[in-house]
Structure 1
C-alpha cells in the first residue's frame, strides 16, 4: 500500500505510525509533475525482525564460573530490567529448570515480561511447583518477542544446605548477678528443617548450655558478676556442617549482688532455757556471688551453684547477743550455728558483709530461762548387757549446770526399794552391782535452786556364772610327801545360786582321778607325784565354771631310828632256840616304804627276816627263830628300802646282840672260837659273793683288800686269838660297811 506521499519519509520508527512489516517488499516510487506527466521506478527490499536484547542480573550473584550457588530454600531474584526488543515487539519472559519447573506459568494469549522474577525453591513438590530432585540442575531464562525464537540463557545451578542465622534476645529483671537471665533464641529455625545444635557461651562463665533438643533454643540461669560477651552458636546435623557454626553475639554487664540477711531462728514465739543449744539459723540468707559449696550443708541459702569466673566471694558472718556478746564470727558456714545463751532477755543480731556492698543486718529478741542440770552419762552404756557379777560404773562427771549451780545425783531402779545412789557427787565415778533382770533406771539431778532433771534408761542385767576362787593350793605349789594338803575355795555367785561344787584330783602321769571331794575345805594326803587339782562350780542355770591348779608332792626318804631298836629277849644263850622279836621306828612321811628287812649275822650263821607295820603306827616289827651255836656278839642289820633298782633310797641301822654260853666253859674255847671266827669270815664272804652282781663282786674284792689292810679312816684293834669278841666285832663292822656301800651304790 501507499506508504508515503513526500520526497523523504521514514518507517518503522518509534512514534510514527507508518511501518513496514517484515518480509520482501517492492518499493515503487511514482513522480508526477503538475502537467500530469509521471515517471516510475521500483526497488526490491527485505526487512528482518531482530531478536530481543536481554540484560540479566542475579541475586545472589553468579560466581566466577558464571554459576548460580544458592541455598536449598533460598530465593533467586532474576533482574531483567534493560531487556528490550529492537522492533518494540511485546516480550514474554519466564524461567525454567532442568527438572521441569516453568515460572511464571505460561498461558496462551498472555504476554508478560516482568523486570523482576523472584522464585523460592521448595523442599517439597506441589502442583505446578516441583521441588528439585537433586542439588545440581540448570536454570534457564527465556525472553520471547513473539516473532523470533525465544532467547534462552542457561546457568548451572547448585543448591546447598545452609546453617540458619542465630537470632536471640536477652531478658532479665535487673543487672545484678542474682537476677535470672533468659537467652531466647526461639526465632532461630533451620530452613531445611534439620535438627539444630545450639550452644550459649559466656566469655566469663564458659559454656552455659549446649543442646540438640528443640528446647535448647532457650537458656535460663544466672551470670556471674562482670562484663560478658554472650554468643549463640548454631549448626545443624548435616554432615557437611561438622564443626561449622554460625555465631551471633551480644555484650551484657552483670553487677555484684548485695548480701541478704534474714534470721529464721531463734523465734520470739519459742521458749528457751540456758541448757539448750539455741539454733541460730539464717536460712535463705547469703550472697549470690558466693558458691553454694562454701555454705553449711544444713539449710538452704542464697548462693550460686557454680563458682564465678572471678572467684567466690568470702562472706563475714557474725552473731552477737547484747548479753553474751559475740557468739560467733566466721564465714558463710556460720549462717547456721548453735550456741547456749545465759538466762535473760537477749537481742540477737545477724550481720553479713561481702566486703563490696554495705553490710546487711537483721535482729530478733528472745527470752532464756534458767535450767536444771544436764546429765552427761559416759558409763554405763545402756545398749550393752551386763552380768550380775559385774561392777557397773556410773560416770556422770561431764554433767553440768549451765547456770553454775551446785547439784547432786540420785539413781534408782524399779527393782530395788532403796536407791542405788542417793544425793551423790556426780563429779566422782561411782560403782555398784545389780541383780539379774531388766531394770528401769531413773537418774535425777537436783541443783541448789531445786531445779530437777530426771532421765530414764533401761538396763539389762543377765544372770552370771559362778566365779571360781581357789584359795589353796596355789599354782605350782610343792608339798612334802605325807603332809596333809588343804583344798580351800571361796567361790561366789552374784545370783547366790551355786548348786554344785566338786574337787577332782587327777594324777598327771596316768590321767586318772584319784580323789573326788565336794566340800569348800578339804584335806587330803597324796602319794608323791604331779597332780592337777580341778574345782568345778555350777549354778541353778547350769552355768559351769572350772578352775585348776597344778601341784607337786615330793617324795620322802625313809629314816630308821637306831635308838628305837628293841630286841627281845635282850641276850641269847648258845644252843638254845628262841623266837627273837625285833622292832624299830621308821619315819617315812609319804608312806611309800614297804620293804624293811633285817639280817642277823653270827659267825657263819645268818638269819634273814622281814619287818612289818601292821597297824600303821610307824613301828615295824618282825621275829625270827634263832639258835646260836656259839657265844659272841652277832650283828643285827635293819634295812629300809623305798623304791626299786638304782633309784631306790635306803636307810640302814644296826645293833649288836649278846650271845652267852652256859656256865661251863673250856680253856681252849677262846682259841677255838678265834679260829672259827676267821673261818666264818671267809665263809660269809663266799656266801655273799654268790648273791651279788658283778658290781658288788668288785666291791666285795675291795672289801677283802680292806680286810687285809683296813683303811686309815677306820682304826681296828689288833686281833689276838685270845680275844674272840674283838674278832667278832671286826667281822661285824666289815659286814656293816659292805652293806652300806652296796646300798649307796
Structure 2
C-alpha cells in the first residue's frame, strides 16, 4: 500500500504522524511515526529572450518558472560573467530582468534562495551561456534642416542628434541642449568604442571632423552635406542633407561702442568696427550716418579705429557696409549723450616760461573748449597766495606787467554754471638800466672860476623792462656840490618823451680852479621778488679855469692862435728861402769843371740840397697841434714873439738870415 502525504499546512517542522488501520470489525491498529520536516530551496530555472545578437538589442532573462515549494519569499541575483552583478532583489518580480549586455561572451547565472532561516546563505543556481555582438554606429543630421536656404553670412549650427554607437558610453558624448545620442547608458565592460566623425561638403570638402555639434558658415553655392560615422568594426554610417547658400552683404563687427552706451559730449566715441567682414571675400567700405543723415564717417576702411564726438542728446547712428558687388547691410545703434563741463586751457602764456623784459604779455584762452558750445565767461586773475587780483580781459587781450614771478589763473564758465580752471606760472624777467657811454653830451665841460653857468647834460639809457623811473646826478667840486634830476618826459630841455635820451640842466658856479667830478645814477624800480634795485652809473670831469683880470681867457686864446699862425708862416718862408739858396749854390758850381764835380749828375745835387732843406724845415715845425682854448702861461712864455726875433731874424744852424722882407 502506498500514498503521498504533504505537510504544506504544517505549523511546525516537528510533528507526530499517526497512521490508523481498521478493517471495520476489529479495533483499529495505529502506527505512530515521528516526522521532522526540512525547508526546501526554490528551484532555479530561466530562459534568454532577445530580438538580436548585437549589444544594441534588449536582452530578457526570464526566470518566472522558478518557485519555492514552501511558498517562501524568494531572493534573486542575476550575474554576468562580463558585466558583473546585473540585479539583486527579492520577490517573484525579480525573476525577470530586462536590459543591455556588453559585447562579448556571457555566462549568465541565476541565484535563487528563500527567507527561511535554515536556508540562510544557500542558493539554487541556474546558468546560460551566449554571445553579444558589436553594434554598428548610427548617423543622423538633426540640424540644419534638409533643404535649408541661407546666405554666406549665416552662422549654421550642425548637430548630429541621434548619432552614436551603442558600444560607447553616453558619458563620453558632448552635453548639447536638446540633443540625444545613440549610446550605452552604462559604461561597457572593456571600455567605450571610439568612432570617427566627418562632415563633408561637395563644394568645400572636409568642413569639420570629430564633432557631433559645431557651428560654421558655408560659402555661396548648393551644398550637399554628408555626415560619416565609423567605429572601425562595422560598416560606416552615413547621413546627408542639402543646403542652398546665397552670397551675402558685409557683416558689421562693432567692438566699441555697444548699443545703448552712455556718453558725455566731451568724450570721444572710439569707433572700432574692425571685426566687420564680408564672408564672400569682397572688398567693402563703411559709412556712419547720424540722425540727420550727416556722414560722421564716409566710405572708410573698417579695419581702423576712428574717434569722433557727438553733441548732447539722444542719437541713432546708422552703419552702412557696402561691398564691391553692390550688396550692403545697415545696422542701427542708439546712444545717449549728456552735456559736459567746459575745459579751461591757455594758448598763452606758457606755463613755466621766462619772458624777456618789457614783454607785452598775451592772455589767450583760445584753447579752452566746451563741447556744448555754451561758454559764457572768461575770467583772468593774478593769484597772490589766497588773494585774486582780477585782470580786465576776455577771451583774448594783451597786458603789460612789471618784472616778477606771476601765477596766472583762468576761470571758464558755461551757461549751466559748470566751470574749470587753468593755471600758468611765469616769470617776467627784469633788466638793469645801462648807460650808452658814447652818448654822453655836456654842453660845456670848461667852467670859469666864480662864474654862474648853465650846463645841459644828455645821455642815452637802455632799459629793457621799462621800469627806469629815477635818474639823478651830482657834481662835486671840493666842498661844493650840485644835484640834478634827469627826465625823459619831454619836459624842460628834454626834446622827445620816451626816446631813451635823458636830459637835465644844472646851474654851476664853481669857486676855485680844479676838476669837478660828475656822477649820474640810473636807479631801476624795485621789482617783485627783487631784494634791491638795479643801478648803473656814468661819470665825467669838468675843468674850472682861473680868470685873468688884465687878459681874459678870450684874449689869451686869440694871442696863442696868432702866435701859432705866425710861426707856421715863418717856417714856410724859411723853407722856401733855404731851397732857393741851395739851388743857386749848385748852379754856380756848374761853371767850375774841377775833378770833384766831374761825372756828377747836377740835377741829383739840386734834389739832395732841396731834401736837406726840407729836413731842416720839418725840424722847425711843431709836431702836435695846440689844444683849442687851452694855453698855459708857462707855454706862452716859451713861444718867441716878433720882438724876440730882432732885426737879424732867427739864427738857424749858426747862420744868420738877414733882410727878411
TM-score bracket, normalised by the shorter chain, equals: 0.5 to 0.7
Q: Distance in 2 between matches of 1:200 and 1:110?
A: 55
Partner deviation per Cα, 1:414-471 (whole Å, 9 max, x = no partner): 2x24343455555666655433322222223344554443222213334444454433
Aligned positions of 1:379-390 closer than 5 A:
379-382=256-259, 384-389=261-266
1:482 aligned to 2:349? no
* Residue 302 of structure 1, aligned match among 154, 179, 182: 182
* Residue 339 of structure 1, aligned match among 216, 227, 230: 216
* Residue 531 of structure 1, aligned match among 387, 403, 406: 406
Structure 1 residues 335 and 482, CA gap change in structure 2 (3 angstroms): same
1:359 aligned to 2:239? no
| Alpha-carbon contact 1:229-1:249 (below 8 Å) kept | no
1:376 aligned to 2:250? no
**How far apart are residue 495 of structure 1 and its match?**
3.0
Partner deviation per Cα, 1:136-167 (whole Å, 9 max, x = no partner): xxxxxxxxxxxxxxxxxxxxxxxxxx999999
1:493 aligned to 2:370? yes
| Alpha-carbon contact 1:175-1:253 (below 8 Å) kept | yes
* Residue 316 of structure 1, aligned match among 183, 188, 196: 196
**How far apart are residue 317 of structure 1 and its match?**
1.1
1:638 aligned to 2:520? yes
Structure-2 residue corresponding to 1:653: 538
1:520 aligned to 2:392? no
Structure-2 residue corresponding to 1:699: none
Which range moves more in the overlay, 316-325 or 527-536?
527-536
Q: Distance in 2 between matches of 1:583 and 1:349?
A: 112
**How far apart are residue 353 of structure 1 and its match?**
0.9
Q: Distance in 2 between matches of 1:613 and 1:115?
A: 167
1:115 aligned to 2:33? yes
Q: Distance in 1 between matches of 2:273 and 2:411?
A: 39
Structure-1 residue corresponding to 2:142: 264
Q: Distance in 1 between matches of 2:87 and 2:423?
A: 81
Aligned positions of 1:572-587 closer than 5 A:
574-575=449-450, 584-587=459-462
Q: Secondary structure at the match of 1:471?
A: coil
Q: Distance in 1 between matches of 2:416 and 2:314?
A: 18
Q: Distance in 1 between matches of 2:99 and 2:226?
A: 33
**How far apart are residue 601 of structure 1 and its match?**
1.8
**How far apart are residue 634 of structure 1 and its match?**
0.8
**How far apart are residue 359 of structure 1 and its match?**
0.9
Q: Distance in 1 between matches of 2:91 and 2:362?
A: 98
**How far apart are residue 289 of structure 1 and its match?**
1.9
Q: Secondary structure at the match of 2:347?
A: strand
Structure-1 residue corresponding to 2:227: 350
The higher-RCO structure (CA 8 Å, 6+ apart) is 2
**How far apart are residue 283 of structure 1 and its match?**
0.9
1:456 aligned to 2:332? yes
Q: Distance in 2 between matches of 1:560 and 1:215?
A: 131
Q: Distance in 2 between matches of 1:407 and 1:291?
A: 49
**How far apart are residue 637 of structure 1 and its match?**
0.9
1:628 aligned to 2:510? yes
Q: Distance in 2 between matches of 1:366 and 1:380?
A: 35
**How far apart are residue 352 of structure 1 and its match?**
1.0
1:326 aligned to 2:206? yes
* Residue 475 of structure 2, aligned match among 583, 600, 606: 600
Structure-2 residue corresponding to 1:437: 313
Q: Distance in 1 between matches of 2:42 and 2:471?
A: 133
Partner deviation per Cα, 1:255-294 (whole Å, 9 max, x = no partner): 3222111222222364322321233222121112223343
Q: Distance in 1 between matches of 2:244 and 2:337?
A: 44
Structure-2 residue corresponding to 1:291: 169
Structure-1 residue corresponding to 2:294: 418
Q: Distance in 1 between matches of 2:440 and 2:42?
A: 142
**How far apart are residue 182 of structure 1 and its match?**
7.1
Q: Distance in 2 between matches of 1:290 and 1:582?
A: 122
Q: Secondary structure at the match of 1:472?
A: coil
1:275 aligned to 2:193? no
Q: Distance in 2 between matches of 1:613 and 1:212?
A: 132
Q: Distance in 1 between matches of 2:146 and 2:489?
A: 106
TM-score, normalized by length of structure 2? 0.63
**How far apart are residue 602 of structure 1 and its match?**
0.8
Q: Distance in 2 between matches of 1:517 and 1:220?
A: 103
Partner deviation per Cα, 1:693-728 (whole Å, 9 max, x = no partner): xxxxxxxxxxxxxxxxxxxxxxxxxxxxx999xxxx
**How far apart are residue 245 of structure 1 and its match?**
10
Q: Distance in 2 between matches of 1:723 and 1:228?
A: 162
Aligned positions of 1:160-199 closer than 5 A:
174-179=52-57
Q: Distance in 1 between matches of 2:304 and 2:360?
A: 49
Structure-2 residue corresponding to 1:664: 549
Q: Distance in 2 between matches of 1:562 and 1:111?
A: 181
Q: Distance in 2 between matches of 1:393 and 1:646?
A: 55
**How far apart are residue 557 of structure 1 and its match?**
1.7
- Count of aligned positions: 524
TM-score, normalized by length of structure 1? 0.57
| Alpha-carbon contact 1:227-1:252 (below 8 Å) kept | yes
**How far apart are residue 350 of structure 1 and its match?**
1.7
Q: Can you give the 5+ residue segments of structure 1 that lack an aligned partner in the other structure?
A: 1-72, 91-108, 122-161, 668-721, 725-745
Q: Can you give the 5+ residue segments of structure 2 that lack an aligned partner in the other structure?
A: 1-9, 22-26, 491-496, 553-631, 635-661
| Alpha-carbon contact 2:73-2:91 (below 8 Å) kept | no
Structure 1 residues 377 and 572, CA gap change in structure 2 (3 angstroms): same
